[in-house]
């Protein structure tokens, strides 16, 4: 049983929820799971709801190019930067490194015999909780930013959104960009985008991972054979047009004729 601010659980009875409005009050609850993470308790609920899609007048479709320099570049001119370059993320990452070093020192003391091998005193437990809390804070900040980007993209009510299928497994094999790719959370962004577009009746198109969106000229269609990652401006050798590399890619994705419909 669910009410606006509380949920009824077996054995525990009524439990107050810190956040309100996430669980529909009139929905049928099928099952629930309680979990603990970084000293906090969470409840996940499986419910039955009737799907409804919002139908409204649609504007022009858009193409979006995701990357590391900028998280999302859209063909309508919207650009969303990389949150991992912001001071808030960098500050939290520094605090996490300090907390990890402090925890490591406590474990080293135990290895040297200053503490027993089974010792796990309150100081170590506090240090572990501190590291877990900072990890969760970083994950929440990044997840919230992805949700924010998705909300602004669907807010324009485009007829469709086209994105490129990424070879994330191949990208993380490159040790120079593996961490940056992992922190961007491209797959989580894609899931959030699919969910939002399904809710608002927006078609999501996906082109193949070998589609040369960055090398094609969005104006004349000429393909540039050589284009290094360091080149941030696309200059067409045929028509001479010069565009931002990511913006040019987003225009090509919008104009793509071969794609798979995901929603």
- Catalytic positions are 65, 164, 246
Of 215, 238, 244, 239, nearest in space to 227 by CA: 215
Query: Residues 225, 226, 230, 235: what is their CA dihedral angle, to the nearest 10 degrees?
Result: -60
Q: 37-63 burial by CB neighbour count: b if 16+ within 10 A, else e?
A: eeeeeeeeeeeeeeeeeeeeeeeebbb
Q: In this structure, are residues 64 and 161 in contact, taking their beta carbons and an 8 Å threshold?
A: yes
Give me the residue label for tokens 């299928």. Answer: 165
8 A C-beta contact, residue 45 and residue 35? no
Sign of the CA dihedral with 32 first, then 35, 40, and 46 last: negative
């Amino acid at each position: 049983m669910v009410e606006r601010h509380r949920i009824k659980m077996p054995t525990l009875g009524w439990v107050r929820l810190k956040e309100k409005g996430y669980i529909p009050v009139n929905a049928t609850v099928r099952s629930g799971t309680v979990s603990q993470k970084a000293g906090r308790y969470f409840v996940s609920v499986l419910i039955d709801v009737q799907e409804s899609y919002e139908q409204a007048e649609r504007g022009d479709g858009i193409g979006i190019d995701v990357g590391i320099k900028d998280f999302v570049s859209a063909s309508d001119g919207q650009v969303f930067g990389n949150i991992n370059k912001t001071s808030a993320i960098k500050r939290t990452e520094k605090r996490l490194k300090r907390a990890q070093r402090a925890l490591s020192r406590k474990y080293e003391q135990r290895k040297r015999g200053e503490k027993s091998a089974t010792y796990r005193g309150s100081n170590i437990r506090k240090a572990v909780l501190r590291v877990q809390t900072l990890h969760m804070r970083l994950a929440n900040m990044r997840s919230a930013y992805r949700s924010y980007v998705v909300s602004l993209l669907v807010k324009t009510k485009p007829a469709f959104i086209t994105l490129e299928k990424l070879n994330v497994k191949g990208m993380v094999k490159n040790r120079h960009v593996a961490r940056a790719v992992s922190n961007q959370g491209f797959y989580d962004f894609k899931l959030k985008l699919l969910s939002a577009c399904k809710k608002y009746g927006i078609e999501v198109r996906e082109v193949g991972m070998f589609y040369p969106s960055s090398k094609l000229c969005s104006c004349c269609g000429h393909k540039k054979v050589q284009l290094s990652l360091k080149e941030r401006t696309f200059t067409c050798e045929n028509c001479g047009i010069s565009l931002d590399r990511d913006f040019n890619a987003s225009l090509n994705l919008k104009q793509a004729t071969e794609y798979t419909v995901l929603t």
